[in-house]
Amino acid sequence: MFTIILLQGIEFLFPLSPEASGADHPRRFVVLRVSIVLQVLLASVLVAATGGSGSIYELIYLLPIVSAATMLPGREVAIVVGGAMAAMIGFIVTGTPLTVSIARVKDVQDAVASMVYFTMAGILIYFFTKNERDQRLHYQTMAATLAETNAELRRVQAELTERLAQLAHMEERVQRISQMAALGELAGQVAHEVRNPLGIIKGATEMLASRVSDSSTRRHIGVVLEEVDRLNKAVESILRLGTPLRLQTVRLTLQDLLKSVTQTATAWSPDALHTVRLTVPPEPLWIQGDHLLHHALTNLIHNAFQAMPTGGTVTVTAQHGSGKEKDDVVVTIADTGVGLSAEDLKRLGEPFFTKRAGGVGLGFAFARRIISEHRGTLDVSSSLGHGTCLTIRLPAELRESAGRLSTESVDVRG
Protein backbone atom coordinates (compact mmCIF):
# COMPACT_ATOMS: atom_id res chain seq x y z
CA MET A 1 0.00 0.00 0.00
CA PHE A 2 2.89 2.30 0.81
CA THR A 3 4.25 1.79 -2.71
CA ILE A 4 0.89 2.70 -4.27
CA ILE A 5 0.75 5.88 -2.20
CA LEU A 6 4.35 6.65 -3.22
CA LEU A 7 3.46 6.30 -6.91
CA GLN A 8 0.45 8.57 -6.39
CA GLY A 9 2.74 11.10 -4.72
CA ILE A 10 5.09 11.02 -7.69
CA GLU A 11 2.16 11.67 -10.06
CA PHE A 12 1.08 14.56 -7.85
CA LEU A 13 4.54 16.12 -7.68
CA PHE A 14 5.29 15.62 -11.40
CA PRO A 15 1.96 15.97 -13.18
CA LEU A 16 1.38 16.07 -16.92
CA SER A 17 1.37 19.88 -17.05
CA PRO A 18 -0.09 21.71 -20.04
CA GLU A 19 3.38 23.10 -20.68
CA ALA A 20 4.80 19.62 -21.30
CA SER A 21 5.67 19.39 -24.96
CA GLY A 22 8.21 18.04 -27.37
CA ALA A 23 10.22 14.95 -26.48
CA ASP A 24 9.42 15.41 -22.78
CA HIS A 25 5.68 14.91 -23.31
CA PRO A 26 5.71 11.28 -24.63
CA ARG A 27 8.14 10.24 -21.90
CA ARG A 28 5.82 11.54 -19.20
CA PHE A 29 2.91 9.59 -20.68
CA VAL A 30 4.98 6.41 -20.64
CA VAL A 31 5.91 6.98 -17.00
CA LEU A 32 2.23 7.60 -16.14
CA ARG A 33 1.09 4.39 -17.85
CA VAL A 34 3.78 2.34 -16.12
CA SER A 35 2.83 3.87 -12.78
CA ILE A 36 -0.87 3.00 -13.23
CA VAL A 37 -0.09 -0.58 -14.26
CA LEU A 38 2.13 -0.99 -11.20
CA GLN A 39 -0.60 0.42 -8.97
CA VAL A 40 -3.16 -2.07 -10.33
CA LEU A 41 -0.74 -4.97 -9.80
CA LEU A 42 0.20 -3.85 -6.31
CA ALA A 43 -3.48 -3.34 -5.41
CA SER A 44 -4.20 -6.89 -6.59
CA VAL A 45 -1.34 -8.24 -4.46
CA LEU A 46 -2.58 -6.27 -1.45
CA VAL A 47 -6.20 -7.45 -1.83
CA ALA A 48 -5.09 -11.04 -2.39
CA ALA A 49 -2.91 -10.91 0.72
CA THR A 50 -5.76 -9.60 2.85
CA GLY A 51 -8.38 -12.21 1.98
CA GLY A 52 -9.27 -11.56 -1.65
CA SER A 53 -12.94 -10.81 -2.27
CA GLY A 54 -14.35 -8.89 0.67
CA SER A 55 -10.96 -7.37 1.63
CA ILE A 56 -11.08 -3.98 3.27
CA TYR A 57 -8.51 -2.82 0.68
CA GLU A 58 -10.71 -3.38 -2.39
CA LEU A 59 -11.29 0.33 -2.78
CA ILE A 60 -7.53 0.81 -3.29
CA TYR A 61 -8.24 0.10 -6.97
CA LEU A 62 -9.87 3.53 -7.13
CA LEU A 63 -6.46 5.21 -6.99
CA PRO A 64 -5.14 3.96 -10.37
CA ILE A 65 -8.65 4.30 -11.85
CA VAL A 66 -8.82 7.96 -10.81
CA SER A 67 -5.32 8.59 -12.20
CA ALA A 68 -6.23 6.97 -15.53
CA ALA A 69 -9.59 8.74 -15.81
CA THR A 70 -7.89 12.07 -15.14
CA MET A 71 -4.97 11.76 -17.53
CA LEU A 72 -5.49 9.02 -20.12
CA PRO A 73 -7.81 8.61 -23.14
CA GLY A 74 -11.16 6.82 -22.67
CA ARG A 75 -9.98 3.53 -24.20
CA GLU A 76 -7.10 3.26 -21.74
CA VAL A 77 -9.40 4.20 -18.84
CA ALA A 78 -11.67 1.29 -19.85
CA ILE A 79 -8.64 -1.03 -19.86
CA VAL A 80 -7.67 0.02 -16.33
CA VAL A 81 -11.26 -0.38 -15.04
CA GLY A 82 -11.50 -3.73 -16.82
CA GLY A 83 -8.26 -4.85 -15.20
CA ALA A 84 -9.56 -4.00 -11.74
CA MET A 85 -12.86 -5.78 -12.44
CA ALA A 86 -11.01 -8.84 -13.80
CA ALA A 87 -8.99 -8.98 -10.61
CA MET A 88 -12.16 -8.83 -8.51
CA ILE A 89 -13.79 -11.59 -10.58
CA GLY A 90 -10.65 -13.64 -10.14
CA PHE A 91 -10.83 -13.26 -6.40
CA ILE A 92 -14.49 -14.41 -6.42
CA VAL A 93 -13.77 -17.43 -8.61
CA THR A 94 -10.69 -18.50 -6.68
CA GLY A 95 -12.21 -17.82 -3.28
CA THR A 96 -12.75 -20.76 -0.91
CA PRO A 97 -14.99 -22.47 -0.20
CA LEU A 98 -16.84 -22.23 -3.53
CA THR A 99 -20.26 -22.93 -1.93
CA VAL A 100 -23.49 -21.02 -1.64
CA SER A 101 -23.71 -19.43 1.78
CA ILE A 102 -24.85 -16.18 3.24
CA ALA A 103 -21.24 -15.08 3.79
CA ARG A 104 -20.32 -16.09 0.31
CA VAL A 105 -23.26 -14.26 -1.21
CA LYS A 106 -22.30 -11.17 0.76
CA ASP A 107 -18.74 -11.33 -0.56
CA VAL A 108 -20.05 -11.61 -4.10
CA GLN A 109 -22.39 -8.69 -3.53
CA ASP A 110 -19.52 -6.63 -2.13
CA ALA A 111 -17.34 -7.54 -5.09
CA VAL A 112 -20.08 -6.65 -7.58
CA ALA A 113 -20.69 -3.38 -5.73
CA SER A 114 -16.95 -2.62 -5.90
CA MET A 115 -16.92 -3.29 -9.63
CA VAL A 116 -19.89 -0.97 -10.04
CA TYR A 117 -18.05 1.65 -7.99
CA PHE A 118 -14.99 1.22 -10.15
CA THR A 119 -16.99 1.58 -13.36
CA MET A 120 -18.98 4.59 -12.15
CA ALA A 121 -15.87 6.26 -10.77
CA GLY A 122 -14.02 5.79 -14.05
CA ILE A 123 -16.93 7.09 -16.14
CA LEU A 124 -17.77 10.07 -13.91
CA ILE A 125 -14.21 11.22 -13.36
CA TYR A 126 -13.41 10.78 -17.06
CA PHE A 127 -16.27 13.04 -18.13
CA PHE A 128 -15.79 15.52 -15.29
CA THR A 129 -12.15 16.01 -16.30
CA LYS A 130 -12.83 16.08 -20.05
CA ASN A 131 -12.58 19.86 -20.23
CA GLU A 132 -9.23 19.78 -18.45
CA ARG A 133 -7.92 17.13 -20.84
CA ASP A 134 -9.15 19.07 -23.85
CA GLN A 135 -7.51 22.18 -22.48
CA ARG A 136 -4.28 20.28 -21.91
CA LEU A 137 -4.36 18.97 -25.48
CA HIS A 138 -5.03 22.49 -26.71
CA TYR A 139 -2.05 23.80 -24.74
CA GLN A 140 0.13 21.03 -26.06
CA THR A 141 -0.88 21.85 -29.63
CA MET A 142 -0.19 25.53 -28.98
CA ALA A 143 3.20 24.68 -27.46
CA ALA A 144 4.14 22.63 -30.52
CA THR A 145 3.00 25.45 -32.81
CA LEU A 146 4.94 27.96 -30.72
CA ALA A 147 8.07 25.80 -30.94
CA GLU A 148 7.74 25.68 -34.74
CA THR A 149 7.18 29.44 -34.82
CA ASN A 150 10.25 30.03 -32.66
CA ALA A 151 12.32 27.86 -34.98
CA GLU A 152 11.05 29.84 -37.97
CA LEU A 153 11.82 33.11 -36.17
CA ARG A 154 15.35 31.94 -35.45
CA ARG A 155 15.78 31.06 -39.12
CA VAL A 156 14.46 34.47 -40.16
CA GLN A 157 16.74 36.13 -37.61
CA ALA A 158 19.77 34.31 -39.01
CA GLU A 159 18.75 35.29 -42.54
CA LEU A 160 18.20 38.90 -41.45
CA THR A 161 21.62 38.96 -39.77
CA GLU A 162 23.19 37.71 -42.98
CA ARG A 163 21.31 40.32 -45.02
CA LEU A 164 22.45 43.07 -42.62
CA ALA A 165 26.04 41.90 -42.98
CA GLN A 166 25.66 42.01 -46.77
CA LEU A 167 24.12 45.47 -46.51
CA ALA A 168 27.01 46.68 -44.36
CA HIS A 169 29.44 45.27 -46.93
CA MET A 170 27.56 47.01 -49.74
CA GLU A 171 27.57 50.30 -47.82
CA GLU A 172 31.32 49.93 -47.36
CA ARG A 173 31.72 49.35 -51.10
CA VAL A 174 29.55 52.38 -51.90
CA GLN A 175 31.65 54.48 -49.54
CA ARG A 176 34.84 53.25 -51.16
CA ILE A 177 33.44 53.95 -54.63
CA SER A 178 32.52 57.46 -53.50
CA GLN A 179 36.04 57.96 -52.22
CA MET A 180 37.42 56.67 -55.50
CA ALA A 181 35.18 59.07 -57.39
CA ALA A 182 36.45 61.95 -55.26
CA LEU A 183 39.98 60.77 -55.90
CA GLY A 184 39.37 60.66 -59.63
CA GLU A 185 38.04 64.21 -59.59
CA LEU A 186 41.05 65.40 -57.60
CA ALA A 187 43.44 63.56 -59.89
CA GLY A 188 41.88 65.19 -62.93
CA GLN A 189 42.55 68.62 -61.46
CA VAL A 190 46.22 67.95 -60.80
CA ALA A 191 46.99 65.78 -63.84
CA HIS A 192 48.33 68.63 -65.96
CA GLU A 193 50.39 69.98 -63.06
CA VAL A 194 52.07 66.57 -62.77
CA ARG A 195 52.52 65.77 -66.45
CA ASN A 196 54.33 68.98 -67.33
CA PRO A 197 57.13 68.57 -64.74
CA LEU A 198 57.45 64.91 -65.72
CA GLY A 199 58.05 65.93 -69.32
CA ILE A 200 60.71 68.40 -68.24
CA ILE A 201 62.37 65.77 -66.00
CA LYS A 202 62.41 63.24 -68.81
CA GLY A 203 63.91 65.69 -71.29
CA ALA A 204 66.57 66.87 -68.86
CA THR A 205 67.46 63.30 -67.90
CA GLU A 206 67.80 62.22 -71.54
CA MET A 207 70.06 65.21 -72.16
CA LEU A 208 72.12 64.28 -69.10
CA ALA A 209 72.38 60.67 -70.28
CA SER A 210 73.92 61.79 -73.56
CA ARG A 211 76.72 63.60 -71.68
CA VAL A 212 77.57 60.89 -69.12
CA SER A 213 79.97 58.06 -69.85
CA ASP A 214 80.16 56.37 -66.41
CA SER A 215 78.29 53.04 -66.63
CA SER A 216 77.01 53.13 -63.03
CA THR A 217 75.61 56.63 -63.47
CA ARG A 218 74.07 55.71 -66.81
CA ARG A 219 72.41 52.70 -65.14
CA HIS A 220 70.80 54.94 -62.52
CA ILE A 221 69.77 57.42 -65.20
CA GLY A 222 68.14 54.54 -67.05
CA VAL A 223 66.19 53.68 -63.90
CA VAL A 224 65.06 57.32 -63.64
CA LEU A 225 63.83 57.30 -67.24
CA GLU A 226 61.99 54.01 -66.73
CA GLU A 227 60.30 55.35 -63.62
CA VAL A 228 59.35 58.59 -65.37
CA ASP A 229 57.66 56.53 -68.07
CA ARG A 230 55.90 54.39 -65.48
CA LEU A 231 54.86 57.47 -63.54
CA ASN A 232 53.40 58.95 -66.69
CA LYS A 233 51.39 55.79 -67.21
CA ALA A 234 50.40 55.76 -63.54
CA VAL A 235 49.15 59.33 -63.79
CA GLU A 236 47.00 58.33 -66.74
CA SER A 237 45.69 55.32 -64.83
CA ILE A 238 45.01 57.14 -61.59
CA LEU A 239 42.61 59.35 -63.50
CA ARG A 240 40.51 56.23 -63.96
CA LEU A 241 40.39 55.23 -60.26
CA GLY A 242 36.69 55.96 -60.24
CA THR A 243 36.14 53.81 -63.34
CA PRO A 244 37.28 50.28 -64.27
CA LEU A 245 40.91 50.11 -65.33
CA ARG A 246 41.57 49.03 -68.91
CA LEU A 247 44.49 46.68 -68.59
CA GLN A 248 46.65 45.60 -71.52
CA THR A 249 48.09 42.39 -70.13
CA VAL A 250 50.91 40.32 -71.57
CA ARG A 251 52.13 36.85 -70.69
CA LEU A 252 55.19 37.07 -68.45
CA THR A 253 56.96 35.18 -65.70
CA LEU A 254 56.60 36.25 -62.12
CA GLN A 255 60.34 35.73 -61.62
CA ASP A 256 61.26 38.37 -64.22
CA LEU A 257 58.65 40.75 -62.88
CA LEU A 258 59.82 40.45 -59.28
CA LYS A 259 63.51 40.81 -60.21
CA SER A 260 62.70 44.03 -62.06
CA VAL A 261 60.53 45.22 -59.17
CA THR A 262 63.24 44.61 -56.56
CA GLN A 263 65.86 46.39 -58.66
CA THR A 264 63.56 49.39 -59.06
CA ALA A 265 62.59 49.40 -55.38
CA THR A 266 66.17 49.24 -54.10
CA ALA A 267 67.05 52.19 -56.31
CA TRP A 268 64.82 54.19 -53.95
CA SER A 269 67.10 53.29 -51.03
CA PRO A 270 70.54 54.49 -52.09
CA ASP A 271 71.84 54.63 -48.49
CA ALA A 272 71.99 50.79 -48.38
CA LEU A 273 69.84 50.62 -45.23
CA HIS A 274 67.36 48.23 -46.79
CA THR A 275 67.83 44.78 -48.27
CA VAL A 276 65.38 42.83 -50.41
CA ARG A 277 65.64 39.05 -50.18
CA LEU A 278 63.95 37.53 -53.22
CA THR A 279 63.12 33.81 -53.20
CA VAL A 280 61.55 32.31 -56.32
CA PRO A 281 61.29 28.76 -57.72
CA PRO A 282 63.38 27.89 -60.79
CA GLU A 283 60.30 26.79 -62.72
CA PRO A 284 58.68 29.77 -64.49
CA LEU A 285 55.50 31.07 -62.87
CA TRP A 286 53.47 32.40 -65.80
CA ILE A 287 50.86 35.11 -65.28
CA GLN A 288 49.02 37.72 -67.31
CA GLY A 289 50.17 41.16 -66.17
CA ASP A 290 49.88 44.81 -67.11
CA HIS A 291 52.67 47.35 -66.59
CA LEU A 292 50.63 48.66 -63.67
CA LEU A 293 51.31 45.42 -61.79
CA HIS A 294 55.01 46.37 -61.74
CA HIS A 295 54.03 49.75 -60.33
CA ALA A 296 51.82 48.17 -57.64
CA LEU A 297 54.45 45.68 -56.42
CA THR A 298 57.17 48.33 -56.43
CA ASN A 299 54.96 50.62 -54.40
CA LEU A 300 54.28 47.88 -51.84
CA ILE A 301 58.01 47.22 -51.37
CA HIS A 302 58.61 50.95 -51.08
CA ASN A 303 55.98 51.07 -48.34
CA ALA A 304 57.85 48.28 -46.56
CA PHE A 305 61.05 50.37 -46.72
CA GLN A 306 59.23 53.32 -45.19
CA ALA A 307 57.99 51.08 -42.35
CA MET A 308 61.66 50.41 -41.45
CA PRO A 309 63.14 53.91 -40.96
CA THR A 310 66.34 52.52 -39.42
CA GLY A 311 66.77 49.86 -42.10
CA GLY A 312 65.95 46.19 -42.36
CA THR A 313 65.18 43.33 -44.70
CA VAL A 314 62.14 42.90 -46.92
CA THR A 315 61.54 39.26 -47.81
CA VAL A 316 59.79 38.65 -51.13
CA THR A 317 58.79 35.10 -52.03
CA ALA A 318 56.87 33.58 -54.92
CA GLN A 319 55.46 30.09 -55.16
CA HIS A 320 52.63 27.99 -56.55
CA GLY A 321 49.44 27.98 -54.54
CA SER A 322 48.26 24.83 -52.77
CA GLY A 323 44.90 23.35 -51.83
CA LYS A 324 42.10 25.65 -52.91
CA GLU A 325 44.73 28.02 -54.33
CA LYS A 326 46.35 25.40 -56.57
CA ASP A 327 45.48 27.45 -59.68
CA ASP A 328 47.10 30.60 -58.25
CA VAL A 329 50.57 31.96 -57.71
CA VAL A 330 51.26 33.47 -54.31
CA VAL A 331 53.61 36.38 -53.61
CA THR A 332 54.44 37.43 -50.05
CA ILE A 333 56.14 40.67 -49.04
CA ALA A 334 57.22 40.68 -45.39
CA ASP A 335 59.07 43.44 -43.55
CA THR A 336 60.51 43.82 -40.05
CA GLY A 337 59.13 47.28 -39.54
CA VAL A 338 56.96 49.03 -36.97
CA GLY A 339 53.76 47.19 -37.94
CA LEU A 340 50.19 48.42 -37.64
CA SER A 341 47.68 48.51 -34.82
CA ALA A 342 44.36 46.69 -35.19
CA GLU A 343 42.55 50.01 -35.71
CA ASP A 344 44.95 51.16 -38.43
CA LEU A 345 44.84 47.73 -40.09
CA LYS A 346 41.07 48.10 -40.52
CA ARG A 347 41.51 51.44 -42.27
CA LEU A 348 44.40 50.35 -44.46
CA GLY A 349 43.44 50.78 -48.09
CA GLU A 350 41.13 53.74 -47.57
CA PRO A 351 42.06 56.53 -49.96
CA PHE A 352 44.03 59.34 -48.24
CA PHE A 353 44.67 57.26 -45.10
CA THR A 354 48.37 57.24 -44.20
CA LYS A 355 50.55 56.99 -41.09
CA ARG A 356 53.59 58.49 -42.81
CA ALA A 357 54.34 62.19 -42.45
CA GLY A 358 54.00 63.81 -45.84
CA GLY A 359 52.25 60.77 -47.29
CA VAL A 360 49.19 61.09 -49.51
CA GLY A 361 47.56 57.75 -48.68
CA LEU A 362 46.98 56.62 -52.26
CA GLY A 363 49.72 54.07 -52.90
CA PHE A 364 48.26 51.08 -51.10
CA ALA A 365 44.72 51.80 -52.31
CA PHE A 366 45.92 51.99 -55.91
CA ALA A 367 48.03 48.83 -55.53
CA ARG A 368 45.07 46.87 -54.20
CA ARG A 369 42.93 48.20 -57.05
CA ILE A 370 45.48 47.08 -59.64
CA ILE A 371 45.79 43.61 -58.11
CA SER A 372 42.01 43.31 -57.96
CA GLU A 373 41.75 44.24 -61.66
CA HIS A 374 44.18 41.37 -62.33
CA ARG A 375 41.60 39.07 -60.67
CA GLY A 376 43.86 38.77 -57.65
CA THR A 377 43.62 39.45 -53.93
CA LEU A 378 45.78 41.33 -51.45
CA ASP A 379 45.63 40.31 -47.78
CA VAL A 380 47.45 42.01 -44.92
CA SER A 381 48.53 40.66 -41.55
CA SER A 382 50.31 42.95 -39.11
CA SER A 383 50.84 43.64 -35.44
CA LEU A 384 52.31 46.69 -33.80
CA GLY A 385 56.05 46.32 -33.37
CA HIS A 386 56.28 43.01 -35.26
CA GLY A 387 56.22 44.03 -38.91
CA THR A 388 53.74 43.48 -41.72
CA CYS A 389 53.19 40.66 -44.21
CA LEU A 390 51.36 41.14 -47.51
CA THR A 391 49.98 38.09 -49.32
CA ILE A 392 49.17 38.55 -53.00
CA ARG A 393 47.35 35.85 -54.97
CA LEU A 394 47.17 36.02 -58.76
CA PRO A 395 45.70 33.56 -61.28
CA ALA A 396 48.38 31.36 -62.81
CA GLU A 397 48.58 31.44 -66.59
CA LEU A 398 50.12 27.98 -66.92
CA ARG A 399 51.17 25.29 -64.48
CA GLU A 400 53.21 22.45 -65.90
CA SER A 401 54.33 20.75 -62.70
CA ALA A 402 52.88 20.38 -59.22
CA GLY A 403 56.01 18.87 -57.65
CA ARG A 404 58.03 20.34 -54.81
CA LEU A 405 60.52 22.82 -56.22
CA SER A 406 63.86 24.06 -54.97
CA THR A 407 64.24 27.81 -54.74
CA GLU A 408 66.87 30.35 -55.52
CA SER A 409 67.47 33.32 -53.25
CA VAL A 410 68.84 36.67 -54.32
CA ASP A 411 69.75 39.48 -51.98
CA VAL A 412 69.41 42.93 -53.52
CA ARG A 413 70.89 45.77 -51.51
CA GLY A 414 70.22 49.36 -52.20
> Residue 388: enclosing H or E segment and its boundaries?
strand 388-395
Q: Which CATH number fits the domain that encloses residue 294?
A: 3.30.565.10
pLDDT the model gives residue 261: 92
Triad 303, 306, 309: Cα angle to 5°: 160
Domain end (from 128, 149, 173): 128
At 269, phi and psi to the nearest 5? -125, 70
212 domain residue, yes or no: no
pLDDT the model gives residue 180: 65
> Residue 218: enclosing H or E segment and its boundaries?
helix 215-238
> Contact 376/391 with Cβ under 8 angstroms?
no
205: CB partners within 8 A, 6+ apart: 221, 224, 225, 228
373 domain residue, yes or no: yes
DSSP 3-state of 339: coil
Domain end (from 77, 107, 128): 128
Q: Are residues 123 and 255 in the same domain?
A: no
133 domain residue, yes or no: no
Task: Work out whether strand 312-320 and strand 286-289 pair parallel, antiparallel, or are unpaired.
Answer: unpaired
> Looking at the DSSP assignment, which residues form a beta bridge with residue 331?
318, 392
| b/e code 205-221 from CB counts within 10 Å (16+ = b) | beeeeeeeeeeeeeeeb
> Looking at the DSSP assignment, which residues form a beta bridge with residue 287?
252
Number of residues in the chain = 414
Q: How far apart are CA 219 and CA 10, in angstroms?
A: 98
Q: How far apart are CA 311 and CA 274, in angstroms?
A: 5
Amino acid identity, residue 359? G
Q: Are residues 117 and 263 in the same domain?
A: no
304: CB partners within 8 A, 6+ apart: 314, 333, 334, 335, 337, 388
Helix ranges, 129-214 (H): 130-209
Q: Are residues 115 and 259 in the same domain?
A: no
pLDDT the model gives residue 21: 42
Q: Are residues 262 and 404 in the same domain?
A: yes
As for how many domains the chain has, the answer is 2
Considering just the CA atoms, what is the radius of gyration of the chain in Å? 45
DSSP 3-state of 379: strand
DSSP 3-state of 280: strand
Q: What is the pTM of this model?
A: 0.46
Which domain range does residue 295 map to? 249-413
Q: Are residues 117 and 253 in the same domain?
A: no
Helix 215-238 × helix 291-306 angle, to 10° = 110
Q: Give 10-residue mean pLDDT values along the chain (414 residues).
A: 56 49 58 81 80 73 79 80 80 60 63 76 77 77 88 92 89 75 67 77 87 84 85 66 71 93 80 85 91 90 88 92 81 91 78 61 79 91 89 80 42 50
153 domain residue, yes or no: no
pLDDT the model gives residue 154: 93
Secondary structure in 3-state letters for 63-116: HHHHHHHHHCCHHHHHHHHHHHHHHHHHHHHHCCCCCCCHHHHHHHHHHHHHHH
177 domain residue, yes or no: no
The secondary structure of residue 247, as a DSSP letter, is -
pLDDT the model gives residue 23: 41
231 domain residue, yes or no: no
Domain end (from 128, 156, 171): 128
Q: How far apart are CA 62 and CA 51, in angstroms?
A: 18
Q: How far apart are CA 324 and CA 322, in angstroms?
A: 6
pLDDT the model gives residue 306: 86
Triad 228, 231, 233: Cα angle to 5°: 115
pLDDT the model gives residue 384: 86
pLDDT the model gives residue 321: 84
pLDDT the model gives residue 393: 94
